[in-house]
Amino acid sequence: MAAGSAAVRARFWVVIDKLDYLLALSREEHFGRAAEACSVTQQTLSAGVKHLENRLGVQLVQRGSRFQGFTPEGQRVLAWARRIVADSRAKQQDVATLRRGLTGHLRIAVIPTALPMVAALTTPYRARHPDVRLTVASSTSTDIVSLLVNLEADAGITYLDNEPLGRVMTVPLYQEAYRLITAADGPCGDRARVTWAEAATPLRRDLRGRPAARPGRGQRPAHRGRNRARPSP
């Protein structure tokens, strides 16, 4: 029984490796670069993908002189591969955590406007788990979704109501508030709230060569008290 279980586990890990090849192809869209990312030869990667196709009985990759994309069946298998590989990595991490505490490499992708508050999350995390190596990368909201889907990032800080986030767990962190700084006697200086269209009007006038509202001599931007105008959603 023990020998049989070991054989099953060995076959399982062989399949996981080949699913990694599919994920690399999805990211790189090039056989050579995908093989390099997996630290194997291009021949080994191609043979691994072909082995998966033979096991499943369908063509997964459109082949030619270069990588031409995934077949519809390949797209379905790729979606499952992402889930299986992610679950496998999580299982390994859980087992390792039980043995020696939390270790590893945590990759966080963050939109630029949220970078200043990342330390509020990472500092206490590092205090609790000093053996975890953290990498924080600035990315667009669209790229963050792609990084998460392709398992190139472990977590992301982005907008919840921007692009569709897909099959990820979301936790609201905070709400952004914007302030419009304008002259006290400017068009919006006495307003408590303005729309984005109203806030853009002085800028449009300035771009056309007309003078936009700016503080004059002896004036200061209205950035405190009742003169702080905030764009409304």
Are 30 and 77 members of one domain? yes
Are 11 and 69 members of one domain? yes
The CATH number linked to 123 is 3.40.190.10
Are 162 and 207 members of one domain? no
Encode pLDDT of 147-189 as tens digits: 888 888 999 999 888 777 777 888 899 888 788 888 888 777 8
Tokens at 89, concatenated: 């990595």
Domain hosting 108: range is 102-175
In a domain, 212, yes or no: yes
Where does the chain show beta strands of DSSP type E?
Answer: 104-110, 132-138, 155-157, 182-183, 193-194, 221-222, 230-231
In a domain, 126, yes or no: yes
The answer to whether 79 and 93 have CB atoms below 8 angstroms apart is: no
DSSP, collapsed to helix, strand or coil, labels residue 172 as coil
In a domain, 96, yes or no: no
Tokens at 194, concatenated: 């303005």
The strand pairing partners of 229, in sequence order, are 180
Whether pTM > 0.95 for this model: the answer is no
| The pLDDT value given to residue 203 | 53
Are 106 and 85 members of one domain? no
- 2-28 vs 72-100: helix axis angle to the nearest 10? 120
Are 86 and 8 members of one domain? yes
Encode pLDDT of 98-151 as tens digits: 666 777 889 999 999 999 989 999 999 988 888 889 999 999 998 998 888 888
Are 19 and 65 members of one domain? yes
In a domain, 171, yes or no: yes
Domain endpoint, select from 175, 196, 213: 175
How far CA 72 is from CA of 25, 61, 177, 206, in Å, comes to: 15, 9, 43, 51
